[in-house]
C-alpha cells in the first residue's frame, strides 16, 4: 500500500510539472506563432512591400525575422514549407538602407550570411533581404512578398 501511495504521488507530481511546463511554453509565444531558440516566429502569407511588412511586424510587437545561424535559417525554411507546401520567396529583416551596410531591422548584428551566388549585387538599388530556398538575396523595396515575423 505504501508503495502504491508513493507511486501515485510521483505520477501526480510528474503530471503537474509537465502541465506547468506546457503552460510556460504556451505563454512564451502568442497563439499561432512557433518558438525556436527562445524567439517566436510567424509566417504571414499576405504579400506586402518590405516597409509595409516591417510596420506590420512592429504593430504586433516584433520585427521582420533576423537570422543568426544556419540552423535558424533552416528552421524558418521548414516552418514556411510546412505551412505552404511550397517554396515562396519571403521577406526577412535585413536591409542596407545605408548602402553596402547590411543591418537587421530588430537592431541585432548581421553575423550570419548565406548569400546566393553573386549576391548582394545591388542591381536596381536593391536594399532589402529575402529568404528563398537556395540562400538569401537582395531585392527592391517595391516588390511584394510574404513575410516572416519574429519576436
State the Cα–Cα distance between residues 79 and 77, nearest whole angstrom.
5
Q: In which element (H, E) is residue 98 found?
A: strand 90-98
Residue 105 has a CB neighbour count (10 Å cut-off) of 25
Measured CA distances, 113 to 28, 41, 60, 70, 92 (Å): 28, 19, 26, 9, 13
Q: What is the mean pLDDT of each run of 10 residues along the chain (151 residues)?
A: 36 40 57 95 93 94 93 92 90 84 89 76 73 66 75 80
Q: How much is the pLDDT for 34?
A: 95
Cell 519571403 sits at which residue?
90
Chosen CATH of 33-150 out of 3.10.100.10, 3.20.20.70, 3.30.43.10, 3.30.420.40: 3.10.100.10
Amino acid at each position: 500500500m505504501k508503495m502504491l501511495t508513493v507511486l501515485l504521488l510521483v505520477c501526480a507530481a510528474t503530471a503537474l510539472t509537465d502541465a506547468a511546463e506546457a503552460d510556460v511554453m504556451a505563454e512564451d509565444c502568442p497563439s499561432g506563432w512557433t518558438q525556436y531558440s527562445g524567439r517566436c516566429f510567424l509566417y504571414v502569407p499576405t504579400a506586402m512591400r518590405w516597409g509595409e511588412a516591417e510596420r506590420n511586424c512592429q504593430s504586433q510587437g516584433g520585427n521582420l525575422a533576423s537570422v543568426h545561424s544556419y540552423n535558424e535559417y533552416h528552421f524558418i525554411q521548414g516552418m514556411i514549407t510546412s505551412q505552404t507546401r511550397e517554396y515562396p520567396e519571403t521577406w526577412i529583416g535585413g536591409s542596407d538602407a545605408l548602402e553596402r551596410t547590411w543591418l537587421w531591422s530588430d537592431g541585432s548584428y548581421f553575423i550570419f550570411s548565406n548569400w546566393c551566388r553573386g549576391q548582394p549585387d545591388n542591381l536596381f538599388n536593391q536594399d532589402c533581404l529575402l529568404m528563398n530556398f537556395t540562400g538569401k538575396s537582395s531585392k527592391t523595396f517595391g516588390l511584394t512578398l510574404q513575410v516572416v515575423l519574429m519576436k
